[in-house]
Amino acid sequence: MSMKTAIVTGANSGMGLATTIQLARQGYRVIMACRSEKRGQQALQEALRESGSTAIELILCDLGSTQSIRDFARSFRERYSTLDVLVNNAGVVMLKRQETSDGFEQSIGINHLGHFLLTLLLIQPLKAAEQGRIVNVSSGAYKAGKIHFDDPHLHKGYNPIKSYAQSKLANILFTRALSRKVANSRVTVNCLHPGAVGTSIGVDRNTGFGTRIMAFIGKLPFFLSPEEGAQTAIYLATSPEVAEITGRYFYQKKEQKLKAHAVDDAVTERFWTWSEQQVGLKPDERL
């Protein structure tokens, strides 16, 4: 059997690095999609050391840049014809409103739109795999989320919880819509809440300065380790138990019922169309 291939976004720290190491230990070839060359190389060395694998590599990808995402996808497709697992793990929480290079508010831009574009650009290698699995790391914060169609980039009344919750609801709407659009293929799409994990998610992407804004995500009196937080993503990426399951939301390896506003089909389709327009999806890239 040929080695299965996985991509993990935000793989240079926290759950992304833990996911990379665990997939590599299970025999996957893992491509670490990281924005920073320096941090990516440091994480690559740690992943190689901790996993004992030699089949891990780094390809730069800035989810805050549609051009960088397109460059990454092209580089991957030039080298690999199949993709077995895509773990859309990268995420940010911004204390103050900031924009990506494309002018998107950073939380919706990186947490959703960047992954939306990346996933659609990798659909063909996912479909070419024996069974392509897409795993979107969402959050219980979706419960407080709303898609602000009148001001999705939050030019008015910005606060970090509002922006993060919107982006995590977006992950779920994307999961449900995509699962329907690839239903005639062997590709599955699921999402998860990892729990309150102690990571650097609240740290400013540019300066490295910041604080963790995690308390609103869950009421736990402690933070999970990145390794613990990664367990459900690993489960969805690899377990035969979920091979036939798609379009669902999980917590602690168990399917969870979604709140009504996360299963609104009219909002889901409207948001998909908006997302296509935002990232400049070309006609031949649409599903």
**How far apart, in whole angstroms, are the C-alpha atoms of residue 286 and residue 257?**
29
Identify the residue whose tokens are 């031949």: 284
Q: What are phi and psi of 200, to 5 degrees?
A: -95, 25
Q: Long-range contacts made by residues 126-130, C-beta under 8 angstroms, separation at least 24?
A: 126/82, 126/83, 126/84, 126/86, 126/187, 127/182, 127/185, 127/186, 127/187, 128/81, 128/82, 128/83, 129/4, 129/5, 129/82, 129/83, 129/84, 129/186, 129/187, 130/82, 130/84, 130/186
From the candidates 80, 142, 158, 164, which is the catalytic residue?
Answer: 164
**How far apart, in whole angstroms, are the C-alpha atoms of residue 254 and residue 83?**
25
Burial 186-197 (b: 16+ CB within 10 A, else e): ebbbbbbbbbbb
To the query of whether residue 164 is one of the catalytic residues in this protein, the response is: yes
Beta bridge partners of 54: none
**How far apart, in whole angstroms, are the C-alpha atoms of residue 22 and residue 277?**
36
Q: For residue 258, what are the CA distances in angstroms to 18, 173, 275?
A: 27, 11, 22
Strand 85-88 to 133-137 pairing: parallel
Residues with catalytic function:
164
